[in-house]
Amino acid sequence: MGNDGGSIPTRRELVKEAAKAPTATQIKEAQAESQEHAWNHDPLTRKPLSSPVVSDSGGTLYNKDSIIEYLLAEEKDAEQEKVLEGRVKGLRDVVEVKFKVEEEGERKIGTGRRERWVCPVTREEMGPQAKAVYLVPCGHAFAGSVVREVAERNCVQCNEPYAENDVIPILPTAPADIARLNLRIKTLKEKGLTHALKKAPGSKKRKKGAEKATNGEPSANGSAKTNSSTSEEDKEKKDKHAASANNGIKNASTAYLTKKVLEEQQERNKRRKLQQNENVKSLFSKGEKGPSMGNSADYMTRGFSIGKK
């Protein structure tokens, strides 16, 4: 072999080495780089983030105008749908995050964002190095330590109350935080609510106070109906319907009057039967008088009487 322009491969070239698993340092560096990009760029358009900024139920940040453009587009981009993962179907599925902006117009070295977001309480910059959260539904953003230290569940800036489960971590990486957010949005969907705690489109509408009235509690207009009163009314209605059905009359009031008239007529008939006719009564004797001898005598002696001595 030789002189044909070819080469003989060695074993080192034929046998490839197995891929090595990334080290912990490499994993941390990759996560830090990904977080840095997510904190500074919109994942839909890859443009720098700038106010107004919104977040979905997973804590991902977007430019509000890019979300509006996506929702208004007739044909959805497959890549953008993959990024959203079905979490955003309308503006009710996002919350506007209200960051405290410091030194507007100043661009931080090494980032694409033009604004510097800080915690309004600690004045520390919020980014991939520090955990940050925002509250639903007001949307004010704080450092994670601030919300944990505050005992009252009221926003520090607007004093609006919030539930413990409505504290949303921004761009979470911990599996526990991601699992909690997934469970939260699942629970809200069962209740017919969106991420912004607004009524989901297409959910069944219930009349005001319908549930309270059925349970015997006051309804929305202040009227209260207990189960006992409801049962009594149903009984009266059934009696009226039964009376109307027996008499063949549809109107309940007319049936009731007819029933009264029939009862009075029956009572009069009974009294009339008890009072016998005078002619019939005269045929029967009243008292203990025996039959007269004149009427009982035979034909030979009838008409004659023997005098008494």
Provide the CATH number for the domain around residue 63.
3.30.40.10
Within this chain, do residues 36 and 89 fall inside the same structural domain, yes or no?
Answer: yes
pLDDT average, residue stretch 65-73: 93
The answer to whether position 32 is within a domain reads: yes
pLDDT of residue 205: 53
- What was the pLDDT predicted at 61? 95
Indicate whether 157 and 262 sit together in one domain: no
Burial of 93 (C-beta count, 10 Å sphere; 0-12/13-18/19+): buried
Read off the pLDDT of each residue in 107-119 and give the average, rounded to a whole number. Answer: 65
Question: Given this model, what pLDDT does residue 26 score?
Answer: 84
> Which of 190, 221, 242 is at the close of a domain?
190
Highest mean pLDDT (candidates 15-19, 153-157, 205-209, 259-263): 153-157
Whether 75 is covered by a domain: the verdict is: yes
> How large is the average pLDDT for residues 137-166?
91
Phi-psi region of 5 (alpha: psi -120 to 50; beta: other; left: phi over 0): left
Q: How confident is the model at residue 224 (pLDDT cuts 50, 70, 90)?
A: very low
Note whether residue 201 is domain-resident. Answer: no
Same domain, 175 and 32: yes
Residues in the chain: 309
The boundaries of the domain holding residue 245 are 229-275
The angle at the Cα of 178, spanning 172 to 179, to the nearest 5 degrees, equals 160
Residue 211 domain flag: no
Residues 47 and 122 both lie in one domain: yes
* Whether residues 164 and 261 fall in one domain: no
- Residue 202 in domain: no
Residues 147 and 85 reside in one and the same domain: yes
The per-residue pLDDT for 216 is: 47
What pLDDT does residue 262 have?
82
Listed range (20-29, 155-164, 297-306) with the worst mean pLDDT = 297-306
> Residue 226 above 50 pLDDT?
no
* Count of domains observed in the chain: 2
Which class for 64: exposed (0-12), middle (13-18), buried (19 or more C-beta within 10 A)? middle
Q: How confident is the model at residue 161 (pLDDT cuts 50, 70, 90)?
A: very high
Query: What is the average pLDDT across 140-153?
Result: 90
Calpha distance 224→126 (Å, rounded): 52
* Cα-Cα-Cα-Cα dihedral sign, residues 180, 85, 161, 125: positive
